[in-house]
A and B are shown apart, each in its own frame.
Chain A
Amino acid sequence: MIAEIGHYALVLALGLALIQSIVPVIGARRRDDTLMGVASTTALAQFAFVAVAFGALTACYVSSDFSVANVFENSHSAMPLIYKFTSVWGNHEGSMLLWVLILSLFGAAVAAFGSNLPATLKANVLAVQSWIASAFYLFILITSNPFLRLAQAPYEGRDLNPILQDMGLAIHPPLLYLGYVGFSISFSFAIAALIEGRIDAAWARWVRPWTLAAWMCLTLGIAMGSYWAYYELGWGGFWFWDPVENASLMPWIAGTALLHSAVVMEKRNALKVWTILLAILTFSLSLIGTFLVRSGVLTSVHTFASDPTRGVFILGILVLFIGGGLTLYAWRAPMLKQGGLFAPISREGALVFNNLFLTAACATVFTGTLYPLALEALTGEKISVGAPFFDLTFGPLFIPLLLMVPFGPLMPWKRGDLLGVAQRLLGAAAVAVIAIAVVFAATSGGPVLAPFGIGLAVFVMAGAVTDLVERSGVMRMPFRTALKRTQGLPRSAFGTAVAHFGLGVSLIGIVCASTWGSEAIVSVKPNATVSLQSYDLTFDGMVSRQGPNYRELVAKFTVREGGVVIGTMEPSKRSFPSRQSSTTEAALLTRGASQLYLSLGDPNEDGSIAIRLYHKPLVLLIWLGALVMFLGGALSLSDRRLRVGAPKPARNAGKPVMQPAE
Chain B
Amino acid sequence: MTRKQRRLVLIGGSLGVLALAAVLVLSALKDSIVFFNSPTDVVEKHVAPGTRIRLGGLVKPGTVQRGDNLAVRFEVTDGNRAIAVNYKGILPDLFREGQGVITEGTLEPGGTFKADSVLAKHDEKYMPKEVADALKKQGHWKDDYEQKK
Say whether, besides A344-B6, A360-B21, A610-B70, A388 and B93 are in contact (CB < 8 Å).
Answer: no
List A contacts of B33 (CB < 8 A): 372, 383-385, 389
Per a CB cutoff under 8 Å, which of B3, B6, B35, B128 touches A383?
Answer: B35
Say whether, besides A161-B123, A233-B120, A357-B17, A381 and B35 are in contact (CB < 8 Å).
Answer: yes
Give, as a whole number of angstroms, the nearest-CB distance from A63 to chain B. 26
List B contacts of A610 (CB < 8 A): 70, 90
Give Cα A442–Cα B129 distance, bound, in whole angstroms: 46
From residue 72 to 86 of chain B, which have CB atoms closer than 8 A to chain A? Answer: none
**Cβ A393 vs Cβ B25 within 8 A:** yes
Give, as a whole number of angstroms, the nearest-CB distance from A302 to chain B. 9
Q: Chain B: which residue is nearest A601 at the CB level?
A: B90
From residue 334 to 367 of chain A, which have CB atoms closer than 8 A to chain B? Answer: 341-344, 352-353, 356-357, 360-361, 363-364, 367
**Cβ A356 vs Cβ B31 within 8 A:** no
**Cβ B28 vs Cβ A299 within 8 A:** no
Say whether, besides A384-B54, A610-B70, A392 and B91 are in contact (CB < 8 Å).
Answer: no
Per a CB cutoff under 8 Å, which of B3, B32, B66 touches A389?
Answer: B32
Tell yes or no: B18 within 8 A of A by CB.
yes
From residue 369 to 422 of chain A, which have CB atoms closer than 8 A to chain B? Answer: 371-372, 381-386, 388-389, 391-393, 396-397
Say whether, besides A384-B36, A581-B124, A601 and B70 are in contact (CB < 8 Å).
Answer: yes
Tell yes or no: B65 within 8 A of A by CB.
no
Per a CB cutoff under 8 Å, which of A343, A381, A382, A392 touches B31?
Answer: A392
Give, as a whole number of angstroms, the nearest-CB distance from A587 to chain B. 15
Say whether, besides A344-B6, A392-B31, A356 and B25 are in contact (CB < 8 Å).
Answer: no
Give Cα A577–Cα B48 distance, bound, in whole angstroms: 44
**Cβ B1 vs Cβ A393 within 8 A:** no
**Cβ A356 vs Cβ B14 within 8 A:** yes
Q: Chain B: which residue is nearest A297 at the CB level?
A: B129
When each residue 14-48 of chain B gets 1 if its CB lies under 8 Å from chain A and 0 otherwise, what string results? Answer: 10011011001101110111111000000000000
**Cβ B27 vs Cβ A392 within 8 A:** yes
**Cβ B123 vs Cβ A523 within 8 A:** no
**Cβ B69 vs Cβ A384 within 8 A:** no
Tell yes or no: A163 within 8 A of B by CB.
yes
Give Cα A196–Cα B31 distance, bound, in whole angstroms: 48
When each residue 295-338 of chain A gets 1 if its CB lies under 8 Å from chain B and 0 otherwise, what string results? Answer: 00001110001100000000000000000000000000000000
Tell yes or no: A282 within 8 A of B by CB.
no
Tell yes or no: B50 within 8 A of A by CB.
no
**Cβ B24 vs Cβ A392 within 8 A:** yes
**Cβ A363 vs Cβ B21 within 8 A:** yes
**Cβ A522 vs Cβ B93 within 8 A:** no
Say whether, besides A384-B34, A386-B32, A397-B24, A521 and B14 are in contact (CB < 8 Å).
Answer: no
Q: Chain B: which residue is nearest A338 at the CB level?
A: B3
For A, the interface residue count at a CB cutoff of 8 angstroms equals 56
Give, as a whole number of angstroms, the nearest-CB distance from A271 to chain B. 10
Per a CB cutoff under 8 Å, which of A300, A301, A342, A599 touches B6?
Answer: A342
Give Cα A368–Cα B26 distance, bound, in whole angstroms: 10
List B contacts of A161 (CB < 8 A): 122-123
Tell yes or no: A230 within 8 A of B by CB.
no
Give, as a whole number of angstroms, the nearest-CB distance from A364 to chain B. 5
When each residue 83-100 of chain B gets 1 if its CB lies under 8 Å from chain A and 0 otherwise, what string results? Answer: 000000111011000000
List A contacts of B25 (CB < 8 A): 364, 367-368, 393
Give Cα A305–Cα B124 distance, bound, in whole angstroms: 12
List A contacts of B27 (CB < 8 A): 392
**Cβ A396 vs Cβ B24 within 8 A:** yes
List B contacts of A601 (CB < 8 A): 70, 90-91
Give Cα A360–Cα B17 distance, bound, in whole angstroms: 7
Per a CB cutoff under 8 Å, which of B17, B69, B104, B123 touches A356?
Answer: B17
List A contacts of B128 (CB < 8 A): 299
Give Cα A521–Cα B124 distance, bound, in whole angstroms: 24
Tell yes or no: A91 within 8 A of B by CB.
no
Per a CB cutoff under 8 Å, which of A381, A599, A602 touches B91?
Answer: A602
Tell yes or no: A235 within 8 A of B by CB.
yes
Tell yes or no: A584 within 8 A of B by CB.
yes
List B contacts of A360 (CB < 8 A): 17-18, 20-21
**Cβ A382 vs Cβ B24 within 8 A:** no
**Cβ A385 vs Cβ B32 within 8 A:** yes
Give, as a whole number of angstroms, the nearest-CB distance from A265 to chain B. 15
Give, as a whole number of angstroms, the nearest-CB distance from B103 to chain A. 12
**Cβ A393 vs Cβ B21 within 8 A:** yes
**Cβ A521 vs Cβ B90 within 8 A:** yes
Give, as a whole number of angstroms, the nearest-CB distance from A354 to chain B. 11
Q: Chain A: which residue is nearest B124 at the CB level?
A: A581
Leading 9 A-B pairs by shortest Cβ distance: A601-B90, A301-B122, A388-B32, A382-B36, A581-B124, A392-B28, A360-B21, A393-B24, A389-B32
Given A384-B104, A391-B32, A573-B93, output 9 extra A-B contacts at Cβ < 8 Å: A384-B33, A388-B28, A392-B31, A393-B24, A393-B25, A396-B24, A581-B123, A599-B90, A610-B70
9 A-B residue pairings within 8 Å (CB atoms)? A305-B149, A344-B10, A344-B13, A356-B13, A357-B17, A364-B24, A368-B25, A582-B93, A599-B90
Chain B residues packing against A (C-beta within 8 Å): 1, 3, 6, 9-10, 13-14, 17-18, 20-21, 24-25, 27-29, 31-36, 54, 66, 69-70, 89-91, 93-94, 104, 120, 122-124, 126, 128-130, 133, 149
